[in-house]
Structure formats: structure tokens, C-alpha cells
Amino acid sequence: QVQLQESGPGLVKPSQTLSLTCTVSGGSISSDNYYWSWIRQPAGKGLEWIGRIYTSGSTNYNPSLKSRVTISVDTSKNQFSLKLSSVTAADTAVYYCARVYYYMDVWGKGTTVTVSS
């Protein structure tokens, strides 16, 4: 049973870079034809797709965030990562990682990131 776990700082200062890692357990990140994705949810609001990566390194990003987002993968560690630059208070949210086909069938529990000085 594949499981995902997000990790990273819970507090980031404005204008700095948010960095999160998702660790995949119970299976190889390289197996099957899955993408690996990041999704976020501000408190009391809906879900927003951030981007996805394939184990080849191929990426797609939400156009509204594309200029600030980088997603990378480390197959040797069974991990993929998110970097979001120049953060503001509007980036405060719960960040989820997920396994993706055309839908997200496995989700991490989520990690709260607050942008504040």
C-alpha cells in the first residue's frame, strides 16, 4: 500500500522560498505510469493544483504559479520536492502531495505552511 508523507518547515518568511519534500513508501516512485503532484488548500478554501512531475523529470505547472514553482524528483530516495519562491501571505495553506494519473488516488496527510515574518 503506497503511502505519502510531506515534510518541511511550517513557517516561512515573506519573500523567501518554501521548500517541501514528499516521501513515498510502500512502493517505488518509478513504478507504473504515475505522475506525482503537489496540491494546496488555504484554510476554509478549495483545492488548488500546483504541479506534477514524472520520474523522467518531466514537469507541468499551474500557469498561475508557474513563474515561482519548481518540482523535482529524487528516485534514489523515493522522494519528490516542491519549491515555491517569493512567497507571500497568500501562499499560506495546507500543502498535499499526491500520486496522480488523471486523478489523485493516494494523498499524503498534508502539512501546514504559514508565511509570516
Partner 1 sequence: SYVLTQPPSVSVAPGQTARITCGGNNIGSKNVHWYQQKPGQAPVLVVYDDSDRPSGIPERFSGSNSGNTATLTISWVEAGDEADYYCQVWDSSSDYVFGTGTKVTVL
Binding site residues, partner 1, CB under 8 A: 37, 46-49, 52, 60, 62-63, 96, 100, 102-105, 107-110
**Least CB distance from residue 104 to partner 1, whole Å?**
7
32: part of which helix (H) or strand (E)?
none
The smaller minimum CB distance to partner 1, of residues 12 and 50, is found at: 50
Residue 47 CB, shortest distance to partner 1, in Å, is 4
Number of Cβ atoms within 10 Å of the Cβ of 54: 16
Nearer to partner 1, 55 or 104 (CB): 104
What CA dihedral angle connects 97, 13, 8 and 17, to 10 degrees?
A: 60
In order of 78, 94, 97, 116, the CA distances from 108 in angstroms are 14, 11, 5, 24
Q: Which is nearer to partner 1, 11 or 47 (CB)?
A: 47
Per the CB < 8 A criterion, the answer to whether 37 and 26 are in contact is no
Residue 58 Cβ, how far from partner 1 at the closest point, in Å? 13
Q: Kindly state the smallest distance separating residue 79's Cβ from partner 1, in Å.
A: 18
